[in-house]
Structures are given as structure tokens and as C-alpha cells.
Amino acid sequence: MDTSQLPLETSFEPYRQRRHLLIERMVNGGGGIAVIPTSAEKARNRDTHFPYRADSYFQYLTGFTEPEAVLVVVVGKAGVSSQSILFCREKNLEREIWDGFRHGPEGAREIFGFDEAHTVSEFDDKLAEMLPDQPVLWFSIGHDTGWDQRISAALNTVRGASRTGKRAPATIRDVRAELDSMRLVKDAAELATMRRVAAISTDAHIRAMRFTAPGRFEYEVEAELLHEFRRRGCEFPAYTSIVAGGANACVLHYVGNDQVLRDGDLLLIDAGGELNGYASDITRSFPVNGRFSGAQADVYQLVLEAQVAAIAAVRPSATFADPHDAALSVLVQGMIDLKLLQGSLNQAMEEESYKRFYMHRTSHWLGKDVHDAGEYKEGENWAPLTPGMVLTIEPGCYIRPADDVPEVFWNIGVRIEDDAVVTSMGCEIITAAAPKKIEDIEALMRDARGN
């Protein structure tokens, strides 16, 4: 049996542990009450909504994915008898006939392990009861104007009752600062999900590679990716897939995906699925006809060597910037060797002349968000890498036509992107199953054509 098709085992223990960790951090930050709403549903056009996706912070702490929900965490004295309280939509059999199942407060409390649960319509009244005399309010200030106003109104109500002896929290702190630093290091449950979505996404890339041929359209290849994501249980693509043939590969955020694929061009695919709210982020670049030309192979091999150097730089105690620096040295020397750049390595580095061909950085954090939460610096220094962090390694080279650039390289755009988990020894590339050596790509595409 293909067990990769079975639903993930769902335990709500990891969510409970994360709420406990948040409570510890709140205790260290003066105690108080945290209010963490999920995201709002968004209308797309008349009577149609964008597919709903729960807020990443809210999901991280609850596993609860219904809209119209709020998590409130109240820290007891010295952290003892702290409470996690969910506000969610009430059971409503009439609405459930139209829109589907709702847990309702009682069901949600039992299944997801909250201490208390109430209907979301009770939220404002309950908050007015809970807010007085809390030393600190933890909230995502500035994230959502509607929520900012709602929280301001609640605070003003308490302030307005000061003659009754009630005090509003004197301190308001951004709860995202704590949650971001928690989310930066993934726990075992998160890593298991990320490995699984990585496996689905590498298979999607292989499927797309096998399908690609001159005359097919970019959107047909995109459909192959989406088919594999959805077939294997992903809720969504983690971001709009980039399927960029020929010159389109030199447009970094190309999402038109509506052009025909031409014999002799490269195809750049940047795509990853999202599973249980966790993203994968993979790029492969390969020839539409299955055979790299000499110039394509030169640029591709250079980017691959830069990626290998960057991956070798991922290990505990290295910093976030080390993989980028490693990739950059290889790339810039290679650009000089290919006569894309003139002058010395030092000169190109100093003048940043390489930015014509490599204008983005090599990594970002990856997790629930494709550009995940977490600071990149500690004070003035780049963040040190520690086991459990997940980052992408994605060097590239994008060559637009220009008089001073050898014509043979015009419109070649290459990016190679993998997802790395920092381990105690170095790193684990969880997306390694998608071929990236020239001979492996060519062999796979030959095999797909049966020759």
C-alpha cells in the first residue's frame, strides 16, 4: 500500500506544547493576556471567496483551521493555572448544510485540548471581563486595522471604568516577537510535515520534468504540478507556481504561465505544495527538449556549483549569511570565467557588478510561510544557524540580452533551490529527490520520452 497517500496522523499535543512554551515566555515578559485572532475570510467577487487559509500564528498554536476564531492565553500567577481559551463559530445546523461542518466550542475544546471554549460572538464581552488588571497585553499590533480598533476599544472600555478600580494593561507587547523566535526552530512534528510536503513537491517537479516537451504550454506544466500537490493531500500550492520558459525565467516573479515552450529553451519551475499549513519551496531549471546546449550547461553547472558550496556552508554555528557568501564567491568567479563580467573577483564584489545577473539573496527561512517568520539578525550580526532551523538555498543566474554580454547566453535564466534543515552535523536537504545534476535531468527526460 502506498502509505504516502494516507492522511497525516493528527495529534494536538504539539500545539499544546507550543502554547505552554508561549506561556513560559509570557511569564518572563511580565505575564498578562495574549489575544491571537485567525485571519478573516476575503471576498473574491460576488458570492465567491478566496480559498480560506487560517493565520499562520494562530494555526501554529491551535491546529484549528476554521475562520472566525480567536485564541486567548491568560497567564496565571507565576504561570500556574494559565489558560488557553478558544473563541469559535457556534454549531449551527442550518449554516452547516450550506457551508459544512463546524466544531463549535464544545467540540473544539475537547478535540483540540483547550481549557475553555466559547462562541466568537461572546468574545468582546469576555475580553472586557478578562482584560482588567492584566499587567501586559500581548497582541499583533498593526497587523490588521479591524483588530487594532477592536483591541483599542476594549482597552478604552477598561480605562473608562477606572473609577471602579479596574486597570487596563500598562504594557502592550507584540506577541509576534515571541512567536517568531519560537517558529524559527521547528519541532519534531513540524519537521515531519515539512519532510512530507518536500517529498510531495519533489515528485511534482519530477512529474513536470517528465511532461515537459516543445510545444506544450507553461500552464499545462503548471497543471501537472497542481495535480500532484492536490492528489497527495496538499491544501494549496504554497505560493503561485512560477513556470517560466526561455526569457521568462529572467523575470524573477513571473507568474503569467501562459506561453508556449520552445525547443532549445530552458524552463525554470519554482513551485512547492503546502501541507497542513507548511510550505515547500523548490526550483529546478532544465531544457525543454531534454538536452542542455553548451551555453546552458555552462551557466547551469556554475549555479549548481554555487549551490553545492552554499549547502556545504550550512551547519550549526555558521550564520545565516554564510551560505550566501559561499554561493556568491563561486557565482562571481564563474561569471568572470564565462566573460559575463570583466575585472577581478574583488572588483566585481566591491562594485556589485554581479547584481545584473544575480540580484537576490541565497536563502530565506521556510516553514508555515514560504518566507517564514523569524529574525535574520541578532543585533548587528547575522543570525547563527541552529539545529531545527529550515532555510532555502537558491542561487541563480539570469542573463538578459545586452550588447556587452555574449549572445550565446542571452535569455538563459537558471535557479536551483532546495530546502535545508540544519542538523547537529550540518544539514539535511529534504528536497534532494528532485534531480539536479545535468546527467540525471537528461536521463530522466530521455526515460520519459522512451529513448
Among 278, 392, 396, 413, binds Mn ion (CB under 5 A): 392
Kindly state the smallest distance separating residue 362's Cβ from Mn ion, in Å: 9
Q: Which of 25, 118, 205, 415 is catalytic?
A: 415
Instruction: Identify which of residues 71 and 250 has a Cβ nearer to Mn ion in the complex.
Output: 250
Examine residue 112 and tell whether it contacts ligand GLY (CB under 6 A): no
Q: Which of 364, 376, 400, 428 is catalytic?
A: 364
Instruction: Identify which of residues 190 and 417 has a Cβ nearer to Mn ion in the complex.
Output: 417
**Cα dihedral value 407, 408, 413, 419, nearest 10:** -140
* Whether residue 360 lies in the annotated active site: yes
* Whether residue 417 lies in the annotated active site: yes
Instruction: Identify which of residues 70 and 238 has a Cβ nearer to Mn ion in the complex.
Output: 238
Applying CB under 5 A, the site for Mn ion has a residue count of 4
Q: Which of 218, 322, 369, 394 is catalytic?
A: 394
Examine residue 281 and tell whether it contacts ligand GLY (CB under 6 A): yes
Instruction: Identify which of residues 25 and 415 has a Cβ nearer to Mn ion in the complex.
Output: 415
* Whether residue 300 lies in the annotated active site: no
* Whether residue 398 lies in the annotated active site: yes
Residues 389-408 binding ligand GLY (CB under 6 A) are 394
* Whether residue 394 lies in the annotated active site: yes
Residues 258-277 binding ligand GLY (CB under 6 A) are 270
Site string for ligand GLY, 207-246 (x = CB under 6 A): --------------------------------x-------
* Whether residue 144 lies in the annotated active site: no
* Whether residue 227 lies in the annotated active site: no
* Whether residue 103 lies in the annotated active site: no
Applying CB under 6 A, the site for ligand GLY has a residue count of 7
Examine residue 66 and tell whether it contacts ligand GLY (CB under 6 A): no
Among 370, 385, 393, 416, binds ligand GLY (CB under 6 A): 370
Q: Which of 224, 265, 270, 322 is catalytic?
A: 270
Positions in the binding site for Mn ion (CB under 5 A): 270, 281, 392, 417
Q: Which residues are identified as catalytic?
A: 47, 253, 270, 281, 360, 364, 371, 394, 398, 415, 417
Positions in the binding site for ligand GLY (CB under 6 A): 239, 270, 281, 364, 370, 394, 417
